[in-house]
Structure 1
């Protein structure tokens, strides 16, 4: 089996937009090698790469089997991770994978060689032919495309009101962007002044930040002319099997019984909780997030 970093599959999109759900389903494909928490902690360890090979097989058994053993396999199988600590450690200080947009930033030759060295060894050790990655928040398309010029990007988007409503419902956002700009490095002085007026208005402030994520991704995609498929989460949830077939076709991946089994095990639905939001709140979201 030949492993190559030439054309990785990279999922991007704002938080709470379906990026994790959809990418995790696709990552059941046995052609794909992805990153997990063990890799994040010990990226150069060949032992953890071998563990991934075994536990990812458990993951496949977990979706295909219907026994008690398959339940145990699902429980102990490795799960995909963004591995932000790895990306942050192997990139220079000005590239912040936790909170930075990295707008207009490209990987240096040293970063390209060291990052690719680690990822190439993982592909070889796990005997998977294709790398797959996932990032939520800023898409960092300049940096990622400088690492992987032939990458295929899948951009997951969701209705802004649903996304904002979901972000505000999480405990993490309470301490992150509910009352402050969480992601940094892409705002003009005028935009910073605008946000200061919204700081005490969580719905407007969150919509403002979501708009910047969507706007920046669009701008970077147009500037770079990337090979990108945009997937609308509402359409995916309305017809998941057709949408999944489109994603696999775009990625040049054959149909997979493991992906099909994973989809059957997961409840794929489009929450209508946003419909319970007051109309004024929904209007506030669309006022401050017109980039969708």
Structure 2
């Protein structure tokens, strides 16, 4: 593997856990290249990465962001910005790997897959004229698979208070459409869990709690099993001390201090998105959610 994809910085965590805001700050670092919204649109076109130089050069720096928490420029739709780029991943990993939805706990890339993936990511770094690779993926951590591809990867694991995360899932359009009444991610459930999920498809809170618990369990197990370099960051700590948290991530990843990161951080507002809406009292479903999240629920 060439130096341009050595020690990539990989941000992992559940969706709606703060991965977007934290990664967007981190990815302002001048040394980092990453898969973009343009790579997502044109997964087979590595040359699209040269487009970044039109937005970031010696004369100006125009980088887009997701319009989740802060106001964005009218140009934001066309600006070059980080993306999870699952179409790109699916293109690289091929039809035998469900990279978007799979836990990939027992899957490894073939030798041909490795060559294709390494070549594509090398081109991302080179065409963007950067020194190191970084990217974000949410849902299953896929650590075993990714370590096979990037043996010396640095992982940043973002976690958020479970009930707040689940409530956020239930309120977003994607989850309403994809995950509310089914197990969205695949490949980590026991037959008993699959049977339980089918019987409880009409209980979205419990189904979401079960999926959240599975994400956390498998991530913790993969971190331990594969002995990866991993820093776990609590969303709540980031909200309380944004600059200190970002600086700790930069130091952990062996990146140099960055005035670009600091300037961007100073120019945005950090909001605590946690809600005090945890179900309490006599609601039996709330009790079952807590038991699932605590790992004591019998499926």
Please give the TM-score of this superposition, normalised by the length of structure 2: 0.88
Contiguous gaps of at least 5 residues in structure 1 = 64-69
Question: Contact 1:55–1:76 (CA<8 Å) still a contact in 2?
Answer: no
Shift of 1:122: 2.0
- Name the counterpart of 1:17: 17
For 2:210, which of 208, 228, 235 is the aligned residue?
208
Q: Which runs of 5+ in 2 are unaligned?
A: 65-71
Aligned residues: 283
Distance of aligned partners of 1:215 and 1:39 in 2 relative to their CA distance in 1, 3 Å threshold: same
2:249 alignment partner, one of 237, 247, 250? 247
Cα distance change, pair 161–41 in 1 and its aligned pair in 2 (3 A): same
Structure 1 residues 215, 130: closer, same or farther in 2, change over 3 A? Answer: same
Structure 2 residue 103 is the aligned partner of structure 1 residue 101: yes
Match of 1:7 in 2: 7
User: Which residue, 185, 200, 224 being the options, matches 2:187?
Assistant: 185
Indicate conservation of the 8 Å contact 1:36/1:79, yes or no. Answer: yes
How large is the Cα RMSD of the aligned pairs? Answer: 2.2
Maintained 8 Å contact 2:279/2:286: yes
The question of whether the paired residues in 2 share the 8 Å contact of 1:141 and 1:221 is answered with: yes
Tell me what 2:35 maps to: 35
Q: Which whole-Å CA distance do the structure 2 matches of 1:213 and 1:18 have between them?
A: 15
Q: 1 CA distance for matches of 2:215 and 2:63?
A: 35
User: Using the alignment, how far apart are the partners of 2:80 and 2:132 within structure 1?
Assistant: 18
Q: CA deviation at 1:46?
A: 5.1
Q: 1:278 matched to which residue of 2?
A: 279
- Determine the C-alpha separation between the residues in 1 that align with 2:206 and 2:278: 14
Which is further off, 71-80 or 174-183? 71-80
Q: Deviations over 1:228-255 (max 9, x none)?
A: 1111101111111111111000011112
Question: TM-score when scaled to structure 1?
Answer: 0.90
Deviation at 1:33, TM superposition (A): 0.2
Q: Distance in 1 between matches of 2:173 and 2:250?
A: 33
Q: The residue matched to 2:6 in structure 1 has which SS?
A: strand
Taking the aligned partners of 2:76 and 2:206, their CA distance within structure 1 comes to 40
Residues 1:288 and 2:297 are matched in the alignment: no
Assess if the C-alpha contact under 8 Å between 1:56 and 1:77 holds in 2. no
Change (3 A) 1:285 1:56: farther
Give me the whole-angstrom Cα distance separating, in 2, the residues matched to 1:3 and 1:129. Answer: 9
Q: For residues 131-170 of structure 1, what are the structure 2 equivalents within 5 Å?
A: 131-170=133-172
Aligned to 1:66: none
Q: Secondary structure at the match of 2:112?
A: helix
| Correspondence list, 1:50-89, <5 A | 50-57=50-57, 60=61, 76-89=78-91
